Structure 1
Amino acid sequence: MRAAASIVARVHAMTSAAETALPAPVELWAPGSAVVALGQGDGGEEAVAVWHVSPQGAPTGAWLVPAAEAFGEEETARRLLTSLERRGITGAVPGDVERILEQLSKAAGVDEWWREQLFSPVLAFEEVVARRAEIEKVVEDARATKNVAVVEWPADVTGYDVREFEDLRRVARLSRTTGEACGTAILVSRVLRWLVRQWAETEQVKNRRPYVRDALGEPQALPPTWLAAVQTGSVNVLPL
């Protein structure tokens, strides 16, 4: 198995100027996450990509391994699982993610372990929308007795019918990638980065408006299901 140093360079090349021009959100602490993808490798063969992402969804490590090695060699499978343990795990298609993890675990001789570490970007988006609705309700109730302004969001994420990852990609206004494994992993990590931004902008209202914090609690680092996945993963050490 090789660390994909060349892929990391490609990440920077594929990052749009518009994205890099955006101001960085105030950092909220969050544990690590990982993206897994199956697709075409550099040489045209089927390959498995594993992508580490920072709390903002930026790539911090990448591995690209031929699927024949990942699913057929115990040592390679174990090394890939080592890169996934103690992290929340996601991908573009939930069923594909589970199949990848199942095959890796079978090759490594490890029993099922990943269920509570999986999270869905689509569900995380729904939680962003729901949290904003909660905040708006608290503010509206406060306006009945206080002179407070309505909440104005930097980006409106309401009114979208998001059922699959492709829907979410369109809402985030990110370009579609090819069927390459690393391209899919890059896209998912960029969607995660966008989600973190939307969530941070949402939770920061609690810091600016104490009455919102009193009603809804302290700011959270990530949407609830995503945070639960990374918290579960942070203490799950595999017998490798």
Structure 2
Amino acid sequence: MKHIVEPDLMAVNKLLQDLTAADRIRWAVETFGKDAVLLSSMQSSASVLMHYFYSMELENEILFVDTGYHFRETLLLRDEFMRRYKLNMVTLYPELTPEQQEKNFERKLYLFADGQKECCRLRKTVPFLNHMKQYGRKLAMVGLRRSEGGRRAKLNPLLQDPRTHGYTLHPIFDWTDKQIQTYLQEYDVPVHPLHKQNYPSIGCECCTTSVEPGEDPRAGRWRHLVSAGDEGPKYCNINCSDGSGI
């Protein structure tokens, strides 16, 4: 496969469109070398991608942002992947502890509609972007899929990320929920236990609840910030793909 230094988005997306997930990942690593990383949320789609890194024997970094507010199960799953598959897992941390942040702002930011966005920025986006810039990482692979709907329904395989002057790759952008589950079962891949407890989308413990039958899969995210006539936030915005470009 041709080595591309500065990808032509239209041409590369046309190329990647019909490739397998493994070949999309292979393209990223062949093109960007060690500067291609995986950003893992520890949700089911991330489990698939982390297993791909293992099966393809990749030593590229897998980034996990520890916000200080994660479910215990999320941290235990990270540790299990590290033990079982010997992955190059890099845990990133915010500059401030939750206690220091609360003291600085004189409140728990996540409890307020005007504070949630800043809390997500400080505790998720900033640590991720700082790492990408500090070490010159040029491409981040993420597990977003078109089938999730919303802004993600129009995902292309490759997207420019102006925040890093690099790119975001969606290796399984065209996968269905059934494909995810089939892969996880076939290879006996560890899965976040809360998925089986009606948590289809899992973020920080303080901002995530289970969902009822018939609810939108993301209804459990920031439910406490939903008010009359306002749906509340839908994304934390660590993913460039969830921004205004889509």
Q: Highest Rg: 1 or 2?
A: 1
TM-score class normalised by the smaller sequence: under 0.3
TM-score w.r.t. the length of structure 2 is 0.26
Using CA pairs under 8 Å that are at least 6 residues apart, name the structure with larger relative contact order, 1 or 2: 1
